[in-house]
Structures are given as structure tokens and as C-alpha cells.
Structure 1
Amino acid sequence: MRLMILVTGATGNVGRPVVDELLRAGAKVRALTRDPATARLPGGVEVAHTDTLPLTGVTAIFLNPAVFWGGVDDLLVRAVDHRVRRVVMLSTSAALDPDPSNEIAAHHRAIERAIEESGMEWTFARPGEFASNALAWQQTIRAGAAVRGPYAAARSTPIHERDIASVVARALLTDELVGTRPVLSGPESITAPEMVRLIGEATGRPARFEEITPEEARTEMLAHPHMRPGVVDALLKLRAESVEHPPEPSPEVERVTGRPARTFASWAVDHAADFR
């Protein structure tokens, strides 16, 4: 019997490649999205609105908590009632931070606890910075303006969304990662100015970075919809700490998939059209 996997956030930066990975493996996919009419998912995928939560026949769920910021209690109760066996959650490496003032960490840890207490099998994929966060620079780079940001010397280990999807698919389709919390990253520790330069090289048009103060950055970040002060403060704190204590790349992508994680330069080439 083919497995039926429910993918939440199926058109997102991670959900979309998860769908592709599952289809390649021969699984049946039921994809949830807030706008099924414009989802443009592959043929054979069942597409439904996020609010409907159709769980009949579902074996496992890929849970993106960004879709359920208000909580997942209803989803978990219904999943147990429908005898769903497994939940694989897109968590974050920030969940390792015990500071209760870190809203990002607290939100993800609370959902992790709820999943553990549900009695279903679970895996919590904990990536650090997504390479796809750089898509926020699209309009700036297209316009030939400088990408502005604080802490130019800060480092991160950006991970390609396809590497996250490969690990998630393994967790959904096999028993290898049940009960684990793999911390995922790209293979290198690099700065934002280096990332901007690599995007410029991939597009064939120079791109530049301009350092601004943390205060300026906070004001600009809070101007974006859905950015709350607690989240902004957590992000700035992480960036500041990584200047003196840069994160070490995790070996988990290679351990799980059997191949090295993709570099940011590779991501920039894959997404060059987004910046032209």
C-alpha cells in the first residue's frame, strides 16, 4: 500500500521541494495550501485548503508550524483520531536556546512538546538559517541598490531548502529518524556580505552590502508585516552573538542523505533568475 503523506505549507520554500521528494519516492501526497487555485502543484497531488485538514487515510504529516502560529492542538487531536502514525515537524535550531525571552525558540519548543505528548511518532528537523531568506533581497539587488544589514562580520550556515526537504522526506518515509532532532545546516559558515557577493556572481551583475546599525535594522525589520518585536530582537541577538561565536556547520545532511550539503554558491546559481 502506498503511503499517504499530508504536506502543510505545500507551496512554501520547504514544502514545495518536500512534495517533489515524496513524489519521486512513489508516495501519495495530499498538499495543503491557503490558495489551492494558484498552487500549481504536479499532477497526481491532492490539493486542499489548509483550513480543511483532510486526514482520512493519511499515514504521516509534514508540519510547518509557520502555518499554525496560533497552535497545533486541533491538528494533533484530529490526527490521533484518524490514526495518523507520524509527524515530521519543520522546527529550528533556535529551539536549542533555553532563554524564555526568545519567542522563536519558545514557540517551536511548545509545538515539539505537544507533538511528543500526542503519542504519535515524531521527528523534529531543526535547520538554522535558510538560504532562501536571501530572497528578501530580491528587489534591492534587482534595483542595483545595496543590501542593508547589521553586523557585517556575523556568520551563519545557510542551508538549501532542497537539503531540508531531503532530510524531511527520509524522516517521513523511513524509520531511520524517528525520535530524533537533527540540527541541519549548510556546509560552510559565511557572512551576509559574502552571500550578497555570491548572488552577484551567479547573476553576472555585481551586488553589494552596506552595514547599518542594529537600531536601524530593528526599525526596518519592524516595518515588515508579521514581524513582532520579540522575534526581531531574537534575530538581532543571534546575529550579534555569531560575530564572536560563529556557528559550526552540522554534518547531519550528509549523514542522513549520504551526500554533502549544498553550498550557498550552489543555492545562488539555482535562484539566479529570482535576482535578475
Structure 2
Amino acid sequence: MTILVTGATGRVGRHVVDQLVKRGASVRVLTRDPSKAQFPAGVDVVQGDLLDIDTLRAAFDGVSTLFLLNAVTGDEFTQAIITLNVAREAGVERVVYLSVIHADRFVNVPHFAVKFGAERMLEQMGFSATILRPSYFIDNEHTIKDVVLNHGVYPMPIGSKGIAMVDARDIAEVAAIELIRRDQAPATLPVETINLVGPDTLTGSDVAAIWSDVLGRPVAYGGDDLAGFEQNMASFMPKWMAYEMRLMAERFVSEGMIPEAGDVERLTNLLGRPLHSYRGFATEITTAA
């Protein structure tokens, strides 16, 4: 049967597609603009989006399992609700859903609350689902690398509690493993939640120290100026989104994103290899610069 991947052109989704193809799965993707998408040979591409009911229904034809990834948008919850309803209508019960760590706690942050709502929908509607809860993406750091490299400042206000940043490649590989496990299971499996974290829980000062070591020159932590962070975000994204990013950063500072006992070991065993580290990311960036 076929696995449908949404969000297939993003940082996580494209790796999910590659991992599924590598494992011999039949893959279909739903994308707004197929001309801008580059997928491996054999991937079935359907043009459309999660609010286009006709194309969404067509995309589910012959599908057995769904990978649901919603971008952070103003209508993210509507997209999730509609997609899961259409999936159920099409007889698709097996789902891997990309949520976020602490979705049940950081409920004042809109996209966390949205994802927690979708998690409850999966449970209450009886889906056979794996809920993946990633921490903050290491890959997000591409947006601030120039500040680090050119100005010697790590500008993200992640605080002193610690965040176990996770690499998109690790997220995608776990997603592919879970998609195939559910797709090939002879019967429906119970709902399961997996925290997706990196190998190290790092503070803002820790990250600055890694950059200093990798670059061989001082990099300072920019501190926890959340008002300034919101103002800077608002210079290149909608103000509602900049405010949402501030709300998320406030939770970084007050609570962090700290793994539960056994999370790192569970992921390492599942993947059969070490997790990608922040130091590895910084080294890759520095080597490529």
C-alpha cells in the first residue's frame, strides 16, 4: 500500500520521503507546486493542499498510512482537523503525526496548543498513531549562522534551563521507521508518543561556547532579551508569528526543552547509530563557510 506524505518539501518532509524510498516504500506526496519539488524517481506527486477537499480526497485514494506535518500558519489547526477527517473518511487509520515536545504544557504558544489538539483528536478518533514530539530543530540555526560567523554573537534567547536540539535528519528517519512499522503491521497498533531530542541539553552559554571552540574565536551569548527578539522577528515575518515566536522563547527561558529519562537511549537504539549533535552542525557550517 501507499504512504502519503504531507509537508514533503520542507526540512523534515523531504528527508522523510528519501528515507521511505530508501526503505522500498510506495510513496505519494501532496504539494502545492510540483514544479518546485524534486523527489526521487517513483514518488507519486499530487498537486493540492490540505484545505483543498477535492485534491485531498484524491490524494488519499489507495493510501494506507499518513505522515501528517503541518507548517506553522494561522490555519494550522483547521488543516489538521480536515486532513484527519478526510483520512478517516478514506479508511486510513494509520498515522504518524509530527507534533512538538511539551505540547501538553506549553499551551499558551499557539502552534503547541494546535498540535496538542491534534494529538487528542488522534486518540479520541481511534487512529493507530505514532505521535512524534521533536524539540527545537538544530536546522533552525541556519537563520542565525551569519550573526554568529560575522558578529561573534549567538542571538537566540534559549535561556539557561537547557534545550536538547534535534536534527531534522534524525526526526525524518524515526518518522520513516514508524511509518513503515505501522504500515506493515498485521493489525492496528496502540497510540504511542516518542520525544525526539538531541544528544545534549544545551543552554545559551553552552551553545556560544561550542561556536567559540569550533571557530577558534570568542562567541558571546546574546542573552534573554525577549522584547528585542520579537522586534527582530517582526522585521521579516508577520507580527502575529513574531509574537508567537516570543511566546515560545519565553517557555525556553522559563522551562527549557529537557528530555525525559531514557529519551536519548531510546532514539539511539531505534536508529542504531548516535544522534546528530549541535557540535556536528556547527562544524559543518564552519567547514562550509
Q: Residue in 2 aligned with 1:238?
A: 252
Distance 1:168 1:247, change over 3 A: closer
After superposition, the C-alpha distances for 1:214-255 in whole angstroms (9 at most, x for unaligned) are: 32223223434141524422322222333xx96567223123
Q: Kindly provide the amino acid, as one letter, of the partner of residue 40 in structure 2.
A: P
Instruction: Please give the secondary structure, in 1, of the residue aligned with 2:192.
Output: coil
Identity %: 29
Q: Residue in 2 aligned with 1:55?
A: 60
C-alpha contact 2:77 2:114 (8 A) present in aligned 1: no
Shift of 1:209: 3.6
Task: Give distance in 2, aligned partners of 1:259 and 1:208.
Answer: 30
Q: What CA RMSD, in Å, does the superposition of the two structures yield over aligned residues? A: 2.8
2:174 to 132, 155, 167: 167
Task: Give distance in 2, aligned partners of 1:248 and 1:60.
Answer: 28
Mapping of residues 139-154 of structure 1, within 5 Å: 139-141=146-148, 143-144=150-151, 146-150=153-157, 153-154=160-161
Q: Residue in 1 aligned with 2:237?
A: 225
Mapping of residues 53-202 of structure 1, within 5 Å: 53=56, 54-66=59-71, 69-71=76-78, 72-97=80-105, 100-141=107-148, 143-144=150-151, 146-150=153-157, 153-175=160-182, 178-195=190-207, 198=210
Distance 1:14 1:240, change over 3 A: same
Q: Kindly provide the amino acid, as one letter, of the partner of residue 67 in structure 2.
A: F
After superposition, the C-alpha distances for 1:137-193 in whole angstroms (9 at most, x for unaligned) are: 144346456342336545211111111112111211114874111111011112345
Tell which deviates more after alignment, 49-58 or 151-160: 151-160
Q: Residue in 2 aligned with 1:262?
A: 276
Q: Residue in 1 aligned with 2:267?
A: 253
Q: Kindly provide the amino acid, as one letter, of the partner of residue 161 in structure 1.
A: A
Shift of 1:23: 0.5
Q: Residue in 1 aligned with 2:219?
A: 208
Question: Structure 2: which 5+ runs fail to align?
Answer: 50-54
Task: Give distance in 1, aligned partners of 2:122 and 2:193.
Answer: 13
Q: What number of residue pairs does the alignment pair up?
A: 269
Task: Give distance in 2, aligned partners of 1:117 and 1:16.
Answer: 29
TM-score (norm 1): 0.84
Task: Give distance in 2, aligned partners of 1:222 and 1:183.
Answer: 30
Tell which deviates more after alignment, 112-121 or 206-215: 206-215
Tell which deviates more after alignment, 158-167 or 132-141: 132-141
C-alpha contact 1:222 1:232 (8 A) present in aligned 2: no
Task: Give distance in 1, aligned partners of 2:209 and 2:32.
Answer: 35
Task: Give distance in 1, aligned partners of 2:135 and 2:159.
Answer: 18
Task: Give distance in 1, aligned partners of 2:218 and 2:46.
Answer: 40
